[in-house]
Amino acid sequence: MDGLGTSARQAAAPDPRGQGAARPVFGAKQAALQLGFRAGLLRLMQLARRREAVILTFHRFAGEGTGDPCGLAIAKFSAYMKYLVRCRRVVSLPELTRQLRQGKVRPYAAAVTVDDGYEEFFSLAVPVLRTYGIPASVFVISDFVDGRLWPWTDRFRFVFEHAPRGPVVFEHRGSARILRIRDEEDRWRVEESWREYAKTIPVAERDDLLGAIADACGVDIPATPPREYRPMTWAQLRALAAEGFDVGAHTRTHPVLSRIPPERLQDEIGGCKEQLERNLGASVAHFAYPNGRRQDYTPQAVEAVARAGYVAAVTTVAGPNTSAADLAHFAQSVSGFELLRTRLRSGLQRRLRRSGDEPAPAVPGSSDGEARDG
Ligand SMILES: [Zn+2]
């Protein structure tokens, strides 16, 4: 895949997307987002070039006593969407795919995506999207919706939410490690640091790590997600699809695809598509890579996406735009989305660096890329 080689030379940068949270974590992703919106969506949009499509990605929302208390306040999301429809030509991802494949992206195109499939997308975000006529895409972890899984990132967060303050000793890779949570801000910094580390190790080892930390902290991880972590139901997703929202795939269990054995790729990628299509009664055309940075998926994963029959997939790899020829090359598999969506981010980061506003990443060494997922 030559096109992939093209994007591999790109420099990664934090992305301006939706976790504008009150949570005292300032990972590069979140901080960049907050800064992006603090600087104003206006400024963000001005940075996008006329011919470049912008794809905004959101995860969790908070409001009306529901959703994720640390998620993006729904009133803020509403303000962003109001602004977006005024300043950009908001299209669905399928429409953007079509334009890309034809090499004719219309000026000021923008699409909205929301990852993972949490319940508050349906109860909080969809009414806002309806108000502004935004045909968003939602990328769903299919085993999560199916009630078979509580995503590991949430289990991680749950354990750290309930971990005691003070030093806790546990064993990892044959040696003793110490968890030191001194105060509440520290709690999330420590959580983020271990979560980011967990993304770099094999999935089985990651689960052992989480188990060891939970045991040492005396935290019982519930078998099913507590209320604030619950997914949408299949009925809700069917209703959304019937209404014209685009439902896309985000693997069955949300692993970092570069950290699972290659023989599991088909099940995670193709299996997710089948599961969604079976339950929705409609075809699923788009895929989003969990975490989505270049190091989070492999050429084999890209092949599995193409083999499964997806029209396009989105990543969070940052970098410059490309020629129509490259887009055509991508169109059958990874697509040009990663290139289009991230030009904006790169531009934003460069300008912030120049202005001295850029936030420092909270985790040492974590500035080499941005993740789709928290
Ligand atoms: Zn995700």
Q: For 74-88, 103-117, 262-276, 321-335, which range has the lowest pLDDT when averaged over its residues?
A: 321-335
From the CA of 117, how far away is ligand 1's center (Å)?
9
How many Å lie between the centroid of ligand 1 and the Cα of residue 307? 21
pTM of the model: 0.74
Kindly indicate whether the domain formed by 2-149+229-355 is annotated with CATH number 3.20.20.370.
yes
Mean pLDDT, residues 244-250? 97
Burial of 178 (C-beta count, 10 Å sphere; 0-12/13-18/19+): exposed
| Ligand 1 centroid, distance to 22 Cα (angstroms) | 20
Rounded Cα distance between 5 and 177, Å, is: 39
- What value does the mean pLDDT take over residues 44-54? 59
pLDDT at residue 349, as a whole number = 42
Confidence band, pLDDT 50/70/90 cuts, at residue 365? very low
356 band by pLDDT with thresholds 50, 70 and 90: very low
Quick one: pLDDT band at residue 30, thresholds 50, 70, 90? very low
Instruction: State the pLDDT confidence band at 76, using cuts at 50, 70 and 90.
Output: confident
Q: How far is the CA of 34 from the centre of ligand 1 (A)?
A: 19
360 has a pLDDT exceeding 50 = no
Average pLDDT over residues 21-36: 32
pLDDT of residue 52: 67
> Would you give the DSSP letter of residue 50?
T
Helix (H, G, I), strand (E, B) or coil at 297: coil
Helix axes 337-355, 28-38, angle to 10 degrees: 70
Question: Helix or strand or coil: residue 79?
Answer: helix
pLDDT given at position 104: 78
Dist. CA 152 → ligand 1 center (Å): 10
Instruction: Determine the distance separating the centroid of ligand 1 and the alpha carbon of 289, expressed in angstroms.
Output: 8
CA 166–ligand 1 middle distance (angstroms): 31
Instruction: Write out the two tokens for 18.
Output: 């939706």
Q: Can you tell me the distance from the alpha carbon of 180 to that of 163, in angstroms, rounded to the nearest whole number?
A: 10
Q: Which pair of structure tokens corresponds to residue 217?
A: 């902290």
Task: For residue 86, give the amino acid letter.
Answer: R
Identify which of 187, 200, 191 has the alpha carbon closest to the alpha carbon of residue 293.
200
Please name the residue ranges forming H helices in 88-202. Answer: 93-101, 119-120, 126-132, 142-145, 152-162, 184-198
- Token reading at 94: 């399928």
CA atoms of 12 and 197, how far apart (whole Å): 18
What distance in angstroms lies between residue 313's CA and the mean position of ligand 1's atoms? 13
* 356 Cα to the center of ligand 1, angstroms: 30
Stretch 329-357: mean pLDDT: 35
* Encoded tokens for 198: 């967990």
Ligand 1 centroid – CA 372 distance (Å): 6
CA of 291 to the centre of ligand 1 (A): 6
Kindly state the helix (H) or strand (E) to which residue 82 belongs, with its residue range. Answer: helix 74-87
Residue spans in the chain of domains classed CATH 3.20.20.370: 2-149+229-355
| Angle (nearest 5°) at CA 362 between 358 and 366 | 90
Task: Determine the Cα–Cα distance for residues 190 and 245; give it in Å rounded to an integer.
Answer: 37
| 174 alpha carbon – ligand 1 mean position (Å) | 30
| Ligand 1 centroid from CA 250, angstroms | 7
* Of 126, 58, 59, 50, the residue nearest 88 (C-alpha): 50
The secondary structure of residue 11, as a DSSP letter, is P
Burial annotation 64-84 (CB, 10 A radius, 16+ → b, else e): eebbbebbbbbeebbebbebb
Which region, left, alpha or beta, applies to residue 227 given φ > 0 means left and ψ of -120 to 50 means alpha? Answer: alpha
Cα of 114 vs centre of ligand 1, distance in Å, is 9
Distance 19 CA to ligand 1 centre (A): 13
CA 243 to ligand 1 centroid distance, Å: 23
* Span from the CA of 353 to the centroid of ligand 1 (angstroms): 28
Q: How far away, in angstroms, is 8 Cα from ligand 1 center? A: 21
The DSSP 8-state label assigned to residue 231 in this structure reads B
C-alpha–C-alpha distance, residues 216 and 69, integer Å = 26
Could you tell me the two tokens for 40? 């104003």
Q: Tell me the C-alpha distance between 369 and 248, whole Å.
A: 24
Distance 251 CA to ligand 1 centre (A): 9
Q: How much distance in Å is there from the Cα of 255 to the middle of ligand 1?
A: 9
Q: Which of 135-139, 289-293, 302-306 has the highest mean pLDDT?
A: 135-139
- Please give the Cα distance from 285 to 311 (Å, whole number): 5
- The alpha carbon of 311 and the centre of ligand 1 are apart by a number of angstroms equal to 19
The dihedral through the CA atoms of 142, 145, 147, 152 has a sign that is: positive
CA of 144 from ligand 1 middle (Å) equals 11
Determine the average pLDDT of the residues in 263-270.
97
The whole-number pLDDT of residue 217 equals 95
| C-alpha 229 – ligand 1 centre gap (Å) | 13
Question: Does the structure show a pLDDT above 60 at 28?
Answer: no
Tens-digit pLDDT profile for residues 143-164: 999 999 998 889 999 999 999 9
| Interval 82-128: pLDDT, tens | 888 888 889 998 888 788 777 777 878 888 889 999 999 999 999 99
Is the distance from CB of 225 to CB of 231 less than 8 angstroms?
Answer: yes
Q: Which helix (H) or strand (E) holds 72?
A: strand 72-73
How far is the centre of ligand 1, averaged over its atoms, from the C-alpha of 318 (Å)? 17
Q: Quick one: pLDDT at residue 3?
A: 28
Q: What number is the average pLDDT over the span 161-179?
A: 93
